[in-house]
Amino acid sequence: MDVLMVPRAEVRQVLVDLETFLDLGLWGYLYQAMAELEEILGEDAISSKKNENHDFST
């Protein structure tokens, strides 16, 4: 398993942005951000993580 080091401030900003998306009902932006993250990390990283955790897509 690879480890990705991310500064705490960046993680906090992502969480604030996520809260803003949800509060404003901007789901399209959330899905776009998730797609961009998939491109950055690679689809395998996202898919394997989803399989390890609960799948909320259903």
pLDDT digits (tens, 9 = 90+) for 36-58: 888 877 765 555 555 555 455 54
Q: Which amino acid is at 17?
A: D
What is the rounded average pLDDT of the residues 22-45? Answer: 77
The CA distance from 2 to 22, in Å, is 30
For all residues of the chain together, what is the average pLDDT?
A: 72
Distances in Å between the Cα of 42 and the Cα atoms of 7, 21, 45, 49 are: 20, 23, 6, 11
Model confidence, pTM: 0.37
User: What's the pLDDT at 58?
Assistant: 45
